[in-house]
Amino acid sequence: MSNIVIVGAQWGDEGKGKIVDLLTQYVDIVVRFQGGNNAGHTIVLKGEKFIFHLIPSGILYKDKKCIIGNGVVLDPGVLIEEITELKKKGYLKEDSQLMISEGTHLILPYHRRIDTAREKIFKIGTTGRGIGPAYEDKMARCGVRVIDLLDEGVFRRKLEENLSQKNLYLVQVLKERSFEVSEILEEYLNFGKQLKKYVKDTSLVLYEEIKKGKQILFEGAQGALLDVDHGTYPYVTSSNTVAGNACAGSGIGPTMIHSVMGVAKAYTTRVGEGPFPTELRDRVGDKIRERGGEFGSTTGRPRRCGWFDVVVVNHSIRINGIGQVAITKLDVLNDFEKIKICVGYRINGKVFHHVPSSIEMLNRSEPVYEELSGWKTEIKGTRDFSDLPQNAQRYLQRIEELIGTKITVISVGSERNETIVIRNPL
């Protein structure tokens, strides 16, 4: 038995969806444990593109189960759209393939309105999906959970209690429109009716399945540098994106997790505001963006692009306990004469090898680069490490040395089979 957590090792958008989809063949259940529909996990299967915001990326395997854990914040309307779309395409034929934790907190319309209104006051560059305000309510103990949706009396009471405060905040502080109970009540009760068949005590389900020897893959969303505790605070998301949260976010214990894989792009991207030491605001950055199709799969925003940052990935390795790394989108670098790797930050004349907690220091940091020669060759068809151009091999070997962690998977294209598996991650 071997249960694995897969997490983003940068600022999200590392291509976790593809890696999860690839590894699902070896496991029985895939679990999302944090985040919400701020995520957009892209999978390309036989030329068809799927973007999952809430449903775990393992759903394209008909015999595998998928769980939305209690640590997720769930926008039920978005989930229903995703389910409908999948069913139309011939997937999710058995309702038992998908389960939602009874304890998952809901995103309500006022969360979205608060999120977008606050962005006008202090811009973090959020996805505007109501993620932060929903997690705030969870911590303030006034959140509404999926199980509440299944009881009209409970849902109405919680909604009324919440609206009495949210409306004051919306109108008087944020100068926004208020909500009527009736605007939300019917729509959400209807969502509840549609989702009821998926709602389970998923912590119990996982416990029973693990006892039977079933293998679980925990699918992280966003990336380590967006973690609310260990990321570039306050330019982060509102959940713990690190592997440790796979436990709390799905209701299992740490002894049930056996390995952690980090996913990192062969370069770095970030969406939204916040420090990004290796950002390239020039033609090289534009070229990476164009070649990598670096536009948000949730919001369509152009992603900021830069070179691979060892300091960032080493930070992720430490806070996640990453034991192996998947490098994605190596093919995006096919057409560069020179490729740089950031090995440290120069701050006030001194070189640092860790991410400083102070955002002000991070903003002042200048990357210290090593420069390698590019390979100027198409590598999409490569399936063996030894068939990669020498310079591509050198690039990966240098990264491996600098991060002190084995690279076990290399993605050279968006299709499931456009992958070099050096060692089975499980």
Residues 66-125, interacting with ligand IMP (CB under 6 A)? 124-125
Amino acid (one-letter) located at 308: F
38 in contact with ligand IMP (CB under 6 A):
yes
12 in contact with ligand IMP (CB under 6 A):
yes
Of 129, 166, 265, 304, the one binding ligand IMP by CB under 6 A: 129
Residue 12 or 425: which CB sits closer to ligand IMP? 12
- Provide the minimum distance between the beta carbon of 346 and ligand IMP in the complex, in angstroms, as a whole number: 25
Residue 90 or 300: which CB sits closer to ligand IMP? 300
37 in contact with ligand IMP (CB under 6 A):
no
158 in contact with ligand IMP (CB under 6 A):
no
277 in contact with ligand IMP (CB under 6 A):
no
Of 10, 34, 101, 126, the one binding ligand IMP by CB under 6 A: 126
User: 3-state DSSP call for residue 398?
Assistant: helix
Amino acid (one-letter) located at 29: I
Q: Which residue has the tokens 């996913």?
A: 263
| Rounded Cα distance, 78 and 14, in Å | 23
From 43-51, 55-63, 127-135, 142-150, give the range in contact with ligand IMP by CB under 6 A. 127-135
How many binding residues for ligand IMP (CB under 6 A)? 20
- Of all residues in the shown chain, the one whose CB is closest to ligand IMP is 272
Residue 21 annotated in active site: no
244 in contact with ligand IMP (CB under 6 A):
no
226 in contact with ligand IMP (CB under 6 A):
yes
User: Which residues contact residue 295 at a Cβ distance below 8 angstroms, ignoring those fewer than 6 apart?
Assistant: 289, 301, 302, 303
Of 216, 228, 260, 271, the one binding ligand IMP by CB under 6 A: 271
Strands across the sheet containing 419-421: 199-200, 98-101, 65-68, 29-32, 216-219, 4-8, 259-265, 324-328, 406-411, 419-421
Of 67, 131, 246, 402, the one binding ligand IMP by CB under 6 A: 131
Residue 105 annotated in active site: no
What is 222-270 written as a DSSP string?
S-GGG-TTTSSTTSS-SS--STTHHHHTTT--GGG--EEEEEEESSEEE
State both tokens at 122.
């202090």
Q: Output the CA–CA distances (angstroms, integers) from residue 248 to 35, 98, 288, 310, in the order listed.
A: 13, 20, 36, 29
User: 3-state DSSP call for residue 26?
Assistant: helix
222 in contact with ligand IMP (CB under 6 A):
yes
- How many residues comprise the chain? 426
412 in contact with ligand IMP (CB under 6 A):
no
Neighbours of 161 (CB within 10 A): 12
241 in contact with ligand IMP (CB under 6 A):
no
272 in contact with ligand IMP (CB under 6 A):
yes
Amino acid (one-letter) located at 210: I
- Provide the minimum distance between the beta carbon of 217 and ligand IMP in the complex, in angstroms, as a whole number: 18
65 in contact with ligand IMP (CB under 6 A):
no
From the list 21, 41, 75, 331, the catalytic residue is 41
132 in contact with ligand IMP (CB under 6 A):
yes
Neighbours of 78 (CB within 10 A): 16
| Rounded Cα distance, 240 and 249, in Å | 9
Q: For residue 217, list its beta bridge partners.
A: 4, 30
Residue 126 or 320: which CB sits closer to ligand IMP? 126
Which residues are at the interface with ligand IMP (CB under 6 A)? 12-13, 38-40, 124-127, 129, 131-132, 221-222, 226, 235, 237-238, 271-272
The residues carrying an active-site annotation are: 13, 41
